[in-house]
Structure 1
Amino acid sequence: MYAVIKTGGKQYRVVAGEKIKVEQIPADVGAEITLDQILMIGEGEAVKVGTPIVAGAKITARVIAHGRHPKVKIFKMRRRKHYQKHQGHRQNYTELEIGSISA
C-alpha cells in the first residue's frame, strides 16, 4: 500500500517503513505525528483519489531527526561590469519514518 501526501507545499509518494526528508516540522525527535493531507491511496490496482484529500485517511509517522540539507551556492555575475555576488543557502528538514497508512 502506498500514498501520496502533501506537506510543506510539496507532494511525496510514501510506503510504510520508508524514511523521507520533508520541510521542517515543529515536533520533537522521537515524537509520533499524524499526516492528514492524503491526496491519493493506492493498493495494487485499487486507487482512491481525493478531491482534494481522501476523507478519513491518515498516516502515522515518527520523527527521526532534524537537520540541514547541503549548501546550495548562488553565484551572480554581469560580464564586463566587474560585478560578482556569492551567496549560499541551507534548507532545514525533518526526517520521518512512515509507520502505518490507514484508509
Structure 2
Amino acid sequence: MYAIVEISGHQYKVAEKDVIFVDRQQADENKKITLDKVLLTSDGNGKVNVGTPVLEKAKVQAKIVDHTKGDKMIVFKKKRRKGYQVTRGHRRHLTRILIEKITA
C-alpha cells in the first residue's frame, strides 16, 4: 500500500516503513505526527482512490526521527571582465520522517 501526501507544499510518494527527508518541521524528535493531506492511496492490488483535492478519511501516521542539514550547494556568481566573483554555500534544513501506518 502506498499514498501520495502533501507536506509543506511538496508531494511525496510514501509507503509503510519508508524514511523520507522533508523540509524542517516544528515538532520535536521522536514525536508522532499525523499527515492528513492525503491526495491518493493505492492498496497494491490495482485499486486507487484519488481525492478532490484530498481524501477525507485517509491519514498517514509518521514519526520524526531527527533534524539534519542537507548536502552543501555551492552558489558561484561571476561577471566576466568586471572583476566580480562571489562564492557562497547553502545547506537546507531537513527533517527525517519514518512512515509508520497508512489508513485509508
Alignment TM-score, normalising by the size of structure 2: 0.95
- 1:45 aligns with 46
Spell out, residue by residue over 1:6-26, the C-alpha distance to the aligned partner (whole angstroms, 9 max, x if none): 102111000001101111111
- 2:91 aligns with 90
Alignment TM-score, normalising by the size of structure 1: 0.96
Matches within 5 A, 1:36-75: 36-43=36-43, 44-75=45-76
Letter in 2 for 1:87: R
CA distance in 1, matches of 2:100, 2:33: 10
- Please list every run of 5 or more consecutive structure 1 residues that lacks an aligned counterpart in the other structure: none
User: RMSD of the alignment, in Å?
Assistant: 0.7
The percentage of aligned residue pairs carrying the same residue is 39
Deviation >6 Å, runs of 4+: none
Number of aligned positions between the proteins: 103
- Please list every run of 5 or more consecutive structure 2 residues that lacks an aligned counterpart in the other structure: none
CA distance in 2, matches of 1:84, 1:98: 44
Letter in 2 for 1:17: K
